[in-house]
């Protein structure tokens, strides 16, 4: 109800300015543990529905997708709002500003967002220092944190594995798992890294840098079955722990939309199909996080029914408010008890 009052004010701002305002509010919560606990215990009240996936214990299976908190400034706030885990980033070895504004666009009638941010972030060393500070003063939430890593836009494809290794070396001490982002449509040539020897080299470099911590690979919704099979074969042979399906849908050939990546409701069916395909091909050999168009308990349940172990959301927060993950967790727990 509170968000219903605030949302019209946020929607008067352009999409990125509203995003920055939301991040500032979340950062304020994250810097005051007493406030985070108050919100978690008295406002969000998520159900405790523990799951163990890839050797990690999750208090509930609803996670924050990468892209919301690129610089890892507010993890305690996401826990306060009811998430069972969060994926922060994407973080590149060197800081970069991303693409020129405007680069984020809302489509309320479609419950969708298009973004072409281009991995704007403060860089791996700065994010690592911030995470170290959070740990030192007790601002780390009591749930798993994933860190998404990517390559810098100016790094040539032949050096991509080095970028993933460098970013992972800086961030792995503060991550419960690492997510390899090779599927954003907003970095030129990035999606070609999902294939064959390219993803093999990246996985090998990243796994050496993580030690025993799980590594997930985030894939594009446009992948066809032969490409998924090839990628899964490499992931399994190189010891990847899981797949995240999916990233945003490229809008390059979509009439009436700016170039970028489409997220939210229009992505739902494709994400479901890809989750089902990954589960069918890999069986129980790999963990699976479903992401795309989740904005209520029904859409989350469909993703679990398709084979996901965990789910992530981001765009749903924009249209449904910050307590969406807690609401979904409660509704799913209620169904399980029936």
- Per-residue pLDDT of 187-233, as tens digits, reads 999 999 999 899 999 999 999 999 999 999 999 999 999 999 999 99
Single out the residue of 278, 142, 314, 148 nearest to residue 215, CA to CA: 148
CA 19, CA 10: separation in Å to the nearest integer? 9
Which of 44, 148, 183, 184 is labelled catalytic? 184
pLDDT at res. 1:
66
pLDDT in tens, 102-151: 999 999 999 999 999 999 999 999 999 999 999 999 999 999 999 999 99
3-state class of 110 per DSSP?
A: helix
Distance CA 160, CA 118 (A): 16
- At 258-302, the pLDDT tens digits run 999 999 999 999 999 999 999 999 999 999 999 999 999 999 999
For residue 12, give its domain range.
Answer: 2-337
State the pLDDT at residue 230: 97
3-state secondary structure of 64: strand
Indicate yes or no: pTM above 0.95: yes
Closest CA to 268 of 299, 241, 311: 299
Counting the structural domains of the chain, the total is 1
The Cα 327–Cα 333 span in angstroms is 10
Active site annotation includes 44: no
Whether residue 253 is predicted with pLDDT greater than 70 in this model: the reply is yes
The CATH number for 149's domain is 3.20.20.70
């Amino acid at each position: 109800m509170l968000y219903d009052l605030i949302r019209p004010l946020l929607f008067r701002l352009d999409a990125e300015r509203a995003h920055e305002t939301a991040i500032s509010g979340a950062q304020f919560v994250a810097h005051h543990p007493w406030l985070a606990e108050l919100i978690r215990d008295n406002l969000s009240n998520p159900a405790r529905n523990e799951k163990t996936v890839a050797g990690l214990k999750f208090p509930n299976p609803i996670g924050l997708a990468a892209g919301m908190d690129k610089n890892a400034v507010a993890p305690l706030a996401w826990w306060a709002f009811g998430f069972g885990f969060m994926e922060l980033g994407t973080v590149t070895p060197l800081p970069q500003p991303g693409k020129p504004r405007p680069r984020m666009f809302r489509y309320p009638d479609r419950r969708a967002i298009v973004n072409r941010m281009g991995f704007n972030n403060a860089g791996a060393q700065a994010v690592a220092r911030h995470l170290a500070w959070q740990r030192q003063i007790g601002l780390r939430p009591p749930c798993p944190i994933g860190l998404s890593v990517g390559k810098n836009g100016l790094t040539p494809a032949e050096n991509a594995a080095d970028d993933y290794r460098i970013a992972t070396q800086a961030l792995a001490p503060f991550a419960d798992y690492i997510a390899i982002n090779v599927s954003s449509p907003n970095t030129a040539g990035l999606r070609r890294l999902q294939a064959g020897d390219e993803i093999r080299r990246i996985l090998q470099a990243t796994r050496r840098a993580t030690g025993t911590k799980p590594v997930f690979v985030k894939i594009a919704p446009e992948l066809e079955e032969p490409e998924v099979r090839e990628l899964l074969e490499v992931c399994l042979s190189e010891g990847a722990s899981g797949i995240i399906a999916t990233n945003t849908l490229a809008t390059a050939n979509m009439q009436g939309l700016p170039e970028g990546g489409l997220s939210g409701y229009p992505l739902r069916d494709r994400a479901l199909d890809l989750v089902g395909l990954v589960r069918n091909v890999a069986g129980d050999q790999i963990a699976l996080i479903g992401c795309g168009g989740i904005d209520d308990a029904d859409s989350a349940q469909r993703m679990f029914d398709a084979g996901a172990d965990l789910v992530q959301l981001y765009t749903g927060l924009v249209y449904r408010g910050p307590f969406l993950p807690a609401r979904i967790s409660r509704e799913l727990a209620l169904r399980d008890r029936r």
